[in-house]
Amino acid sequence: MLVRIKVNGSWREADAWPGSSLLSLLREELALPGSKNACEQGECGSCSVWLDGDLVCSCLVLAGQAHQREVKTVESLSEPGNERLHPVQEAFVHAGAVQCGFCTPGFIVAVADLLEHDPDPDEATVREALSGNLCRCTGYVKILDAVRLAAERMRSDAES
Protein backbone atom coordinates (compact mmCIF):
# COMPACT_ATOMS: atom_id res chain seq x y z
CA MET A 1 0.00 0.00 0.00
CA LEU A 2 1.21 3.50 -0.77
CA VAL A 3 1.49 5.66 2.33
CA ARG A 4 1.89 9.42 2.10
CA ILE A 5 2.88 11.24 5.28
CA LYS A 6 4.28 14.61 6.19
CA VAL A 7 7.47 13.73 8.05
CA ASN A 8 9.45 16.46 9.78
CA GLY A 9 7.86 19.08 7.53
CA SER A 10 8.21 17.32 4.17
CA TRP A 11 5.69 15.12 2.38
CA ARG A 12 7.07 11.64 1.72
CA GLU A 13 5.64 8.54 0.08
CA ALA A 14 6.59 4.92 0.60
CA ASP A 15 5.26 1.53 -0.30
CA ALA A 16 4.40 -0.29 2.93
CA TRP A 17 3.12 -3.74 3.70
CA PRO A 18 -0.41 -3.26 5.17
CA GLY A 19 0.60 -4.84 8.49
CA SER A 20 3.79 -2.86 9.00
CA SER A 21 4.16 -0.34 11.79
CA LEU A 22 4.84 3.35 11.51
CA LEU A 23 8.18 2.59 13.18
CA SER A 24 9.12 0.19 10.38
CA LEU A 25 8.04 2.70 7.76
CA LEU A 26 10.15 5.44 9.32
CA ARG A 27 13.27 3.32 9.81
CA GLU A 28 13.23 0.99 6.82
CA GLU A 29 11.43 2.88 4.07
CA LEU A 30 12.15 6.52 4.92
CA ALA A 31 15.68 6.10 6.35
CA LEU A 32 14.91 7.85 9.64
CA PRO A 33 16.71 5.68 12.21
CA GLY A 34 16.28 7.95 15.25
CA SER A 35 13.26 6.10 16.64
CA LYS A 36 14.46 2.78 18.01
CA ASN A 37 12.88 -0.66 17.80
CA ALA A 38 13.10 -2.28 21.21
CA CYS A 39 10.00 -3.90 22.68
CA GLU A 40 7.47 -3.67 19.82
CA GLN A 41 4.75 -3.52 22.49
CA GLY A 42 4.59 0.16 23.42
CA GLU A 43 6.23 -0.49 26.78
CA CYS A 44 9.66 1.14 26.46
CA GLY A 45 9.13 4.47 24.68
CA SER A 46 12.21 4.08 22.46
CA CYS A 47 10.10 4.58 19.33
CA SER A 48 8.25 7.72 20.49
CA VAL A 49 7.22 10.21 17.81
CA TRP A 50 4.58 12.89 17.43
CA LEU A 51 1.58 11.96 15.29
CA ASP A 52 -0.52 15.04 14.54
CA GLY A 53 1.06 16.64 17.61
CA ASP A 54 0.35 13.77 20.00
CA LEU A 55 3.11 11.67 21.52
CA VAL A 56 2.73 8.03 20.42
CA CYS A 57 4.70 4.81 20.33
CA SER A 58 5.26 4.34 16.61
CA CYS A 59 5.51 0.57 17.06
CA LEU A 60 1.79 0.53 17.94
CA VAL A 61 0.62 2.60 14.96
CA LEU A 62 0.09 0.88 11.63
CA ALA A 63 1.86 2.61 8.76
CA GLY A 64 -1.47 2.97 6.97
CA GLN A 65 -2.94 4.82 9.96
CA ALA A 66 -0.40 7.58 9.38
CA HIS A 67 -1.51 8.12 5.76
CA GLN A 68 -2.09 11.83 5.08
CA ARG A 69 -1.06 12.73 8.63
CA GLU A 70 1.87 14.61 10.13
CA VAL A 71 4.70 12.82 11.91
CA LYS A 72 7.60 14.44 13.73
CA THR A 73 10.55 12.34 14.84
CA VAL A 74 13.56 13.04 17.03
CA GLU A 75 15.35 14.11 13.84
CA SER A 76 13.00 17.13 13.66
CA LEU A 77 14.45 18.68 16.82
CA SER A 78 17.69 19.82 15.17
CA GLU A 79 17.48 21.43 11.79
CA PRO A 80 19.86 20.16 9.08
CA GLY A 81 22.94 22.34 8.82
CA ASN A 82 22.28 23.86 12.24
CA GLU A 83 25.34 23.39 14.44
CA ARG A 84 23.30 23.71 17.64
CA LEU A 85 21.38 20.85 19.18
CA HIS A 86 17.90 21.30 20.64
CA PRO A 87 18.13 22.41 24.31
CA VAL A 88 16.86 19.00 25.45
CA GLN A 89 19.55 17.24 23.43
CA GLU A 90 22.21 19.60 24.81
CA ALA A 91 21.01 18.99 28.36
CA PHE A 92 21.19 15.20 27.93
CA VAL A 93 24.79 15.49 26.74
CA HIS A 94 25.79 17.99 29.45
CA ALA A 95 24.14 16.00 32.28
CA GLY A 96 25.64 12.70 31.12
CA ALA A 97 22.18 11.23 30.56
CA VAL A 98 23.30 9.36 27.45
CA GLN A 99 24.79 5.95 28.11
CA CYS A 100 24.31 3.35 25.39
CA GLY A 101 21.97 5.77 23.59
CA PHE A 102 19.29 3.26 22.67
CA CYS A 103 16.54 4.83 24.79
CA THR A 104 17.78 8.39 24.36
CA PRO A 105 15.72 9.42 21.29
CA GLY A 106 12.50 8.33 22.98
CA PHE A 107 13.39 10.15 26.19
CA ILE A 108 14.34 13.30 24.27
CA VAL A 109 11.05 13.32 22.36
CA ALA A 110 9.11 12.74 25.62
CA VAL A 111 11.00 15.51 27.44
CA ALA A 112 10.59 17.96 24.55
CA ASP A 113 6.86 17.17 24.54
CA LEU A 114 6.62 17.66 28.30
CA LEU A 115 8.48 20.99 28.29
CA GLU A 116 6.39 22.25 25.39
CA HIS A 117 3.27 21.74 27.51
CA ASP A 118 4.76 22.53 30.93
CA PRO A 119 7.92 24.67 30.92
CA ASP A 120 8.40 24.35 34.70
CA PRO A 121 7.32 20.84 35.72
CA ASP A 122 7.76 19.56 39.25
CA GLU A 123 9.50 16.23 39.81
CA ALA A 124 6.26 14.25 40.07
CA THR A 125 5.11 15.66 36.72
CA VAL A 126 8.44 14.77 35.11
CA ARG A 127 8.35 11.24 36.49
CA GLU A 128 4.79 10.76 35.25
CA ALA A 129 5.64 12.13 31.79
CA LEU A 130 8.61 9.77 31.52
CA SER A 131 6.91 6.73 33.03
CA GLY A 132 6.44 5.21 29.57
CA ASN A 133 10.17 5.27 28.84
CA LEU A 134 12.62 2.64 30.03
CA CYS A 135 16.39 2.87 30.40
CA ARG A 136 18.64 0.01 31.40
CA CYS A 137 21.87 1.99 31.79
CA THR A 138 21.56 5.29 33.66
CA GLY A 139 19.40 4.66 36.68
CA TYR A 140 17.35 7.75 35.71
CA VAL A 141 19.12 10.24 38.01
CA LYS A 142 21.07 11.83 35.16
CA ILE A 143 17.96 11.80 32.95
CA LEU A 144 16.05 13.74 35.63
CA ASP A 145 19.02 16.12 35.92
CA ALA A 146 18.87 16.64 32.15
CA VAL A 147 15.16 17.46 32.30
CA ARG A 148 15.74 20.10 34.98
CA LEU A 149 18.66 21.57 33.02
CA ALA A 150 16.69 21.65 29.76
CA ALA A 151 13.71 23.29 31.49
CA GLU A 152 15.97 25.97 33.02
CA ARG A 153 17.69 26.68 29.70
CA MET A 154 14.45 26.79 27.72
CA ARG A 155 12.82 29.16 30.25
CA SER A 156 15.94 31.36 30.15
CA ASP A 157 15.91 31.39 26.32
CA ALA A 158 12.20 32.30 26.33
CA GLU A 159 12.80 35.20 28.72
CA SER A 160 15.62 36.71 26.62
Select the CATH number that applies to the domain covering 87-159 from these four: 3.10.310.30, 3.40.50.720, 1.10.150.120, 3.40.630.40: 1.10.150.120
Mean pLDDT of 1-30: 96
Helix H, strand E, coil C: the string for the chain is: CEEEEEECCEEEEEECCCCCEHHHHHHHHCCCCCCCCCCCCCCCCCCEEEECCEEEEHHHCEHHHHCCCEEECHHHHCCCCCCCCCHHHHHHHHHCCCCCCCCHHHHHHHHHHHHHHCCCCCHHHHHHHCCCCCCCCCCCHHHHHHHHHHHHHHHHHHHC
The model's pTM = 0.93
- Residue 146's pLDDT is 97
Would you list the domain boundaries of the chain? 2-77, 87-159
pLDDT per residue as tens digits for the range 62-101: 999 999 999 999 999 986 666 789 999 999 999 999 988 8
- Residue 84's pLDDT is 83
Mean pLDDT of 116-136: 96
- Residue 56's pLDDT is 98
Task: Give 24's pLDDT tier (boundaries 50, 70, 90).
Answer: very high
Would you say domain 2-77 falls under CATH 3.10.350.10? no
Of 5-14, 116-125, 130-139, 147-156, the one with minimum mean pLDDT is: 130-139
What radius of gyration do the chain's Cα atoms show?
16
C-alpha–C-alpha distance, residues 145 and 74, integer Å = 20
